[in-house]
Amino acid sequence: MKRVGFILKVREDLIEDYKDLHMDVWPEMKQALKKSGWHNYSLFMSKNGMIFGYFEATKSFYDSLKNMNKEEINSKWQNFMSPYFEIPETATPDQSMIELEEVVHLD
């Protein structure tokens, strides 16, 4: 298991809509995340839309993303969510996540 942190930026004018959508994540998406090695997954957001994501990966951030890319539901979710993020127009949110290095962990 590897602890993974990443950042991503939600457009400030769409923060409330983004939060509302995450109150009811598609069940197929939740299943695909678990199947692909995303465990104990959480998102935290600042008032300006900066997201810090955390999950525990079965192997690595790269492997978890690679496994999700095999899931048909992921393409639908990424395309649906793309307008909510400050990312290049041709990118999807999962292509724009910036992985953070774990510097310290205390139990």
Question: Which of the following is catalytic: 19, 22, 35, 66?
Answer: 22
39 is catalytic: no
Short-list 25, 3, 22, CA closest to 99: 3
Short-list 58, 61, 60, CA closest to 8: 61
Sheet holding 50-57, edge to edge: 38-45, 50-57, 2-9, 98-100
**CA quadruple 34, 58, 43, 102: dihedral, nearest 10:** 180
Residues taking part in catalysis: 22
